[in-house]
Structure 1
Amino acid sequence: MRYDPPRPAGRLLLTPEDKEAPERVRRLRRLGLGERAEPVFDAFAHRLAEVAAVPYSMVNFIDENRQFFAGLHTPDRNGSDILSAACTTGDGADHGVGRYMARDYGFCPHVVVRRRALVLEDVCDYPRFAGNPVVDEIGVRSYLGAPLIDQTGIALGTICAVDVEPRPWGKAGLETIKSLAAELVQEIERRAGPL
């Protein structure tokens, strides 16, 4: 685990060391994932937002330096919502909702490294996560995410549901996010074919 110096507000940010990143990137490239938005992933993110009743949801693939939202649901499809402030399109131009976010932002990198679902009903209750830039810059208060672990055993990325209000996800939320992650992995594997 890498320890970053405290932010000016005195919070310690912990970004997990990701030793699997180079292998993940090779696998994502072989699968043709993580570099372009795809309607099927946007549709999945939209469905996840509906099921979880949240304003934001993502299908997220992660490399060594950044996260890519191959599937993205936001309340304002024109991109003028709060998530756009922290995201870019990767080419410096303004194309509405950004699809890239630094690896130090958000909680999905933790899910990928842990290889387990993460439930944060109120991120402010967890000092390790409360100092993350998405809390102050975007207003994230609640997170529910699960890893996308494929047949090779590599955690390719995550799916996640995010809210700007604390949420009592409970066991039902955890089971739902894990079930939806397994469903998406099956779809990815169908597309990829046999090893």
Structure 2
Amino acid sequence: MTYDPIGRLLLTPVDREAPERVARLRALGLGERPEPAFDAFARELAQLTGAPYAMVNFLGEECQFFAGLHAPSRAGEGRFMARDLGYCPYVVVRRKALVLEDVRDFPRFAANALVDEIGIRSYLGAPLIDRTGLALGTVCVADTEPRRWGRSGLDTIKSFAAELMTRIRRREDGLIIW
């Protein structure tokens, strides 16, 4: 974590792997354009969890890119988001799943602009760990209501992250084409 000049804790932790991640994403051909297969993956995750928002999110040095997106129509127009917004950058740097049943219960996360701008109240995300050991991004869901994700939610998001990484590996190996 870092602090700004007046001593406030910043949400986005220092991400020392960002340059290496960007190079890996480019090598994989990911993180620069929407992909229908990732949109379908996000839609399936949203349907399974009942969450209005689901994303396949890749993180660059300056921004986040939703290569897969399921969102209410008006909110789903943009695929880019600043790195200091949302909860995914924290998941990537931590390299662990994050469960926030009510973001307002956590001072570090309650002040995030997504709470005020979109009304996000709960989040569930897991990192996408590549075969090289890099965290490329996340698979996540969010809701405008507090949610009790519980153990089953955590297991679901981890399972979806593992499934997506399997598909990405198979794509890299030329075994499947999306």
- Coarse TM-score class (shorter-chain normalised): over 0.9
3-state SS, counterpart of residue 16 of structure 2: coil
* Distance (whole Å) between structure 1 residues aligned to residue 147 and residue 10 of structure 2: 23
3-state SS, counterpart of residue 47 of structure 1: helix
3-state SS, counterpart of residue 56 of structure 2: strand
Residue 42 of structure 1 aligns with which residue? 39
Residues 61 and 156, structure 1, Cα contact 8 Å, conserved in 2: yes
Residues 12 and 131, structure 1, Cα contact 8 Å, conserved in 2: no
3-state SS, counterpart of residue 16 of structure 1: coil
Residue 4 of structure 1: CA displacement? Answer: 3.4
* Distance (whole Å) between structure 1 residues aligned to residue 124 and residue 5 of structure 2: 26
* Distance (whole Å) between structure 2 residues aligned to residue 48 and residue 147 of structure 1: 15
Structure 1 residues 189 and 129: CA distance shift in structure 2, 3 A: same
2:5 is equivalent to residue 2 of structure 1:
no
* TM-score of the aligned structures, taking structure 1 as reference length: 0.85
Residues 105 and 132, structure 1, Cα contact 8 Å, conserved in 2: yes
Alignment of 1:43-192 (within 5 A): 43-76=40-73, 80-81=74-75, 97-192=77-172
Identity of aligned residues (%): 68
Residue 5 of structure 1: CA displacement? Answer: 6.0
Residue 25 of structure 2 aligns with which residue? 28
Residue 13 of structure 1: CA displacement? Answer: 3.5
Aligned-partner residue type, residue 147 of structure 1: P
* TM-score of the aligned structures, taking structure 2 as reference length: 0.93
* Distance (whole Å) between structure 2 residues aligned to residue 185 and residue 4 of structure 1: 35
Residue 150 of structure 1: CA displacement? Answer: 1.0
3-state SS, counterpart of residue 166 of structure 1: coil
Residue 138 of structure 1: CA displacement? Answer: 1.2
Structure 1 residues 119 and 193: CA distance shift in structure 2, 3 A: same
Structure 1 residues 18 and 164: CA distance shift in structure 2, 3 A: same
Residues 49 and 57, structure 1, Cα contact 8 Å, conserved in 2: yes
3-state SS, counterpart of residue 68 of structure 2: strand
Aligned-partner residue type, residue 111 of structure 1: V
* Distance (whole Å) between structure 1 residues aligned to residue 97 and residue 15 of structure 2: 16
Residues 56 and 67, structure 2, Cα contact 8 Å, conserved in 1: yes
3-state SS, counterpart of residue 98 of structure 1: coil
3-state SS, counterpart of residue 132 of structure 2: coil
Aligned-partner residue type, residue 176 of structure 1: T
Structure 2 residue runs of 5 or longer lacking an equivalent are: none
Aligned Cα root-mean-square deviation (Å): 1.4
